[in-house]
Amino acid sequence: MKACLEFQAGHERGVQMRKKWRIILGAILLALVLSGCGAKGEASSGPKQVIIGTGTQFPNICFIDKNGKLTGYDVEVMRAIDKKLPDYQFKFKTMDFANLLTSLANRKIDVVAHNMAKNKEREKQFLFNQEPYNYSPLYITTKKSNNSIHTLDDLNGKNVIVGATSNAADYIRNYNKKNDNKIHLRYAGQGSNDAANQIETGRADATLSTPFAVDFQNKTQSAKQKTVGKVILDTKVYFIFAKNNKKLADEVDTAIKELEKDGTLKKLSEKWLGGDYSKSSFAK
């Protein structure tokens, strides 16, 4: 009888022990499964890819250098912003300038970085960030040998060529409204050198341009130009986003403020543009 009781007690202890180990093993397996799910979740929630639309034909701003690398002020500012935003991974997509806003509207890209200024038409369809990362001071620009043009009044009766959708075009159109259309406004065709070529051949007398664009033009083209007089228009430059991308635009603004504070914007501007254009010329 005693032997039977001892056997029964031992059997029950064995059952309890097996139950205990099953519980322990189950807990271990559950922990491994949850751990695996967590790792997978972390991998899938990595940096969000952001497609930056830019060009390759804008001297000093966004262009292909002699080594075949996409670079320039706008490109390098975007790369600096990317370093400030670990939740995002920026990837560049290059295209003709004329296709940038269309691509943004069709969600083929997320941001446009191409020395863009605000205007009413663009603001109707797109979102601009709030902090300018550059100022483009526009001067009257003529053929280097032309000594007859110094001020806006000297452009009366002259042919001035600018990009059709540019702020320079808006400025001349507004000037003409107030001054009986004294300036003959012409629009540049495709290609970054069209305005320079028309000035060189005498079909146009002047344009509005920045010192850094003229400097690049003089270094790389046979046609030589110069800026004259005072700053006509100091254009604030922004990035452009889709309307529903305010969170990214706000975070880009935060990064721009940090880059301005730590001197990165000034350093990049001096390197690519030949001077500090991170601040307005009127404030200097």
Predicted structure pTM score: 0.74
Task: Specify whether 121 is located in the same domain as 249.
Answer: yes
3-class secondary-structure state, position 101 = helix
Q: Kindly report which listed range (53-62, 107-116, 169-178, 192-201) carries the lowest average pLDDT score.
A: 192-201
Is 192 inside any structural domain?
yes
Q: Within this chain, do residues 254 and 224 fall inside the same structural domain, yes or no?
A: no
Please give the residue that has the higher pLDDT: either 138 or 32.
138
Of all residues in the chain, what percent carry a pLDDT higher than 70?
82
CB burial of 254-279 (b: ≥16 within 10 Å; e: otherwise) equals ebbeebbeeebbbebbeebbeebbbb
Whether residues 75 and 106 fall in one domain: yes
Residue 2: per-residue pLDDT: 45
Q: What's the total number of domains in the chain?
A: 2
pLDDT of residue 221: 83
Q: Could you tell me if 73 and 214 lie in one domain?
A: no
The number of residues making up the chain comes to 284
For 40-66, what is each residue's pLDDT tens digit? 444 456 899 999 999 998 889 999 999
Which domain CATH number covers 269? 3.40.190.10
- The answer to whether residue 279 sits within a structural domain is no
Whether residues 253 and 264 fall in one domain = yes
223 by Cβ neighbours in 10 Å (0-12 / 13-18 / 19+) ranks as middle
Asked if residue 203 and residue 84 are part of one domain, the reply reads: no
What's the mean pLDDT in 140-149? 95
Q: Is residue 5 situated within a structural domain?
A: no
Whether 37 maps to a domain, the answer reads no
What is the mean pLDDT of the segment spanning 165-192? 88
Amino acid at 79: R
Supply the pLDDT for residue 41.
42
Domain range enclosing 264 = 48-134+237-273
Q: Is residue 25 part of a domain?
A: no
The verdict on 127 and 54 lying in the same domain is yes
16 or 218: which leads in pLDDT: 218
Decide which of 97 and 29 is more confident: 97
